[in-house]
Every structure is written in C-alpha cells, then in structure tokens.
A and B are shown apart, each in its own frame.
Chain A
C-alpha cells in the first residue's frame, strides 16, 4: 500500500470521492424534487401532464446514462451554449448534476407511482368526500403514505445514483474513476491494490447505507 503513503496520491483519492459525494448530494435533491413532480403529473387528472410525465420517464429511463451525460456537455453546453460557470470543473460538475438528476428522476417517479398503488383507494375517496382538492388529496393524504412505502426502492435508486456519479468522469470531472485512472497510470506497479482500494471504498460506504435504508423502511412502514 505504499502508493497511499504519498500525500499527493491521497489527495487525488480524497478529491475524487469528494466530487462523488457532491454529485450524489446535489443529484439526490434534484432527482427527488423532479421525481415527485413527475409522479404527481402521471397520476393527475390532466391528460397533457400525464403525457408529459410518461414521455419523460420513457425517454430518460431508456437512454444510457453515458449518452445523457455526454449530451449535457456536447448538446447543452457546446451547441446550445448553456453554461453555469467559467470554471471548467464547476461547469462540468453542474452539467453532470443536471444529467444525473433528469435520469434518476425517471426512476424516482416510477418508484413513487408504485408506492401510490399501495395506498388503499378508500383513502383518496375519503379525502374527496370531505371536500379536498386533487392537490390537497395528493400532498396531504396520498404522498405521505406512498412515500413511506417506497423507502427501500428509493434506497436502491440512491445507491445506484452514487455509483452512476462516476459516469460524469466521461466529461472530465476528476471524480473517483478518473482519480483511479490517474493513480494507475502513474503507479503501474500497484494496479490491483489501487483498484481494490477504490472499489472497497464504495462498498464500505454503501453497504451500511443499504442497511440503513432497510432499517428506515421497517421503521416507517405503514402498518396496515
């Protein structure tokens, strides 16, 4: 493990995982907000909104993430001139967050929609009966119950998202997979140890997270 006794290498490793953390954090927020909105659209009584939601899910769920991220750079930024910052790294970071968010939102939307199906129809009927609007029914009665039912699938999506964050490396952010490439390139004598450290870091963080989500899902489940 003498590769990681060099402070420069440790710095590369830490920076790589910091980018992954930042990408995951920002994209989680983006994907949750977008996903809930999309789910609301897909169950709403307005056909146009339903169609938009369905189109979004079908488009982004069936496009490889690599292509989406790639399009964020070469489509959004290069061709359409959309740019967030003059700093190359920051700009690529936000382009990556946009890509990850729109992609993951499709999965979040589907998870929430399946959660809505676990809420007995009587709940919605009762809400309508006491005069609540669609919006009130959804936000006060349906979503809180649906949300508690989908903690576990959302956990899986979150874990997938944090690993998918490495794909932003394709547009040049020095996240963990690029950091790994750099270390392997400079230390040809320690390819396997470097690989194991990077893979192990993901596992060491994500396995407890997985257990955490299971625990939370049990804790919050609606006991019917």
Chain B
C-alpha cells in the first residue's frame, strides 16, 4: 500500500523533528540543589551554567576555551553575588535563536548575551536587569559624511540577517539599501573594503568592533542612537526569586564600583567612559 507507506514516512518524519526539537518547551531544570531556581542551585551545587555570545568583541568573545567581555564580567558579578566562585561557572555559547529554548530546557541557568528585554520574550523567560541600555547606532569610516540614520538615503547599510536592527532599517529607513550577513565580522570586513557605507547594530557592539586592533583609527561610532535596547539577564520564567536576587546584585554592583570595573576592563578600553547604571529601571520580575 503506497498510501500507508507515505503516511508512515510522514509520521516518522514528524517524530524525528519533534525529537530534534528536544520535546518543545516543557524541559526540566534538572537542578539537584533541592530548591528550584538559580538561588537554590547556586547555594546547593556552587555551580552555574551561563549562556553567553562567543563572537562579539568587547561583550562576549571566545578565544580558545576562555571567554572575555563585558557580558562575561557581568556574569561573574552575578555568580559571585549568588555565592558561586569563578571556577564554578560553566560558560556556554548561545546564539540569538537558541537563547529561549536553552533557558526553558534548563541547558543554561542564566543568559547574559546582549539579550534585549521585550514583551514576546517575557512570555517565556524572566528577565533580571537591565544592566545596560544600548541603542541602535551606526559604525562608519572616520572620514564618512553620515551623521545619523536620516543621512542613510541611497547608502548601503550592513547588519546581521534577521536581527532587530536589520528589521528597523527595513521598516523605518526604507531609502537605505540593506546588505545582510550572518555575522557582524563580515559586515565590518565589507565596511573596511568599501562595499557598504555603514554597519548598524547596538552601539555597544559597534564600540567593541571599533576597538579591535586591526581597525584602530579606521572607524567611528556616529553616536546618535535611534532606539532603546535594554539588555537583561534571562532566566526561567517561574524563577522570580532568582530574578529579584539578580536585580539586588546589580544594584549593589552599581554602587560598590564592580560594575564600573567590569566596564573599564572590557569596553572601556576603547576610551568610552562607564555608563551610569540606572537602578530605578530594574524589571519587576513578575
């Protein structure tokens, strides 16, 4: 029977896909600390798994097996506040698309990966922070005449495919031509080669690229942010206790200088002074 064979094929296929998708969104944290949530896990196991980006200089960059950057430092501050030593942190590379599933399935306890807080994401994960308010900006060659997003008409702008900054250019600045790549490093290469006139994403990420040695003195960040991207720390949806704790730790870090030190040791090297962490804007952890 050809029909039943077809049906069986489809059945097997959907099963395989479902397995590949790791069973959807009801994964178990698998924490053995007794109490649920990161607070319990941190005090019980003295271990935390933190998801970070691996390809963003100055924020989260992996060289060999070690990670460096501002997000990494923030992760260390949070871990320390929860009573976990640096040796107890396991860093895990996340990309934009797998941040929510990783949190839901318990593959990571926290995500500190240029993770913009927005309403859709709030439906499935909880956010501590924001620990930084980024804004979309432009990276241009030092001698460029582009002074802001309104000067982009007819110019070629580069961003990462499928990202929020790319989408904003498409919807709000239709006169600009958008070139998309799958990583910012390709965009920066194209900018250095003159195929595009500007690279656009959150200012903090651009600053990281501008600060790279091989591009020293070649590019500048325009400095006219045209959006607000509050970076939060993602954790399990039902872990409001952990979320409140994270906000306490961040508030404390803002006043005891460790937040500033985290900045100065990473992004601050490009000469940008440390931002003021506005502790009144913290999420309500609901």
Which A residues fall within an 8 A CB radius of B?
A: 74, 77-79, 87-88, 92, 169-174, 178-189, 191-192, 195-196, 199-200, 203, 207, 211
Contact = CB atoms under 8 A, between A and B. Distances in A.
Taking residues whose C-beta sits less than 8 angstroms from the other chain, chain B's interface range is 35 or more
B180 A203 contact: no
B151 to A, nearest CB: 18
Given A185-B164, A192-B24, 16 more contacts: A78-B193, A88-B179, A169-B161, A172-B179, A181-B161, A182-B163, A182-B166, A183-B162, A184-B97, A184-B162, A185-B162, A185-B167, A188-B120, A189-B121, A191-B98, A203-B13
Contacts of A183: 162
Contact of B164 (A79, A186, A191, A192): A186
Nearest to A83: B195
Contacts of A187: 120
B249 interface: no
Interface string B1-23: 00000100110011001100100
Contact of B161 (A74, A172, A186, A196): A172
20 contacts: A74-B190, A78-B190, A79-B193, A88-B156, A88-B178, A92-B179, A170-B182, A172-B181, A178-B161, A178-B180, A178-B182, A181-B97, A182-B167, A188-B100, A188-B121, A189-B120, A191-B98, A196-B21, A200-B14, A200-B17
A66 B139 CA distance: 27
Interface string B98-124: 111100000000000000001011011
B120 to A, nearest CB: 5
A189 B101 CA distance: 9
A186 B167 contact: yes
A2 to B, nearest CB: 11
A195 B14 CA distance: 12
Contact of B100 (A77, A189, A196, A207): A189
A108 to B, nearest CB: 27
A207 B9 contact: yes
A195 B163 CA distance: 16
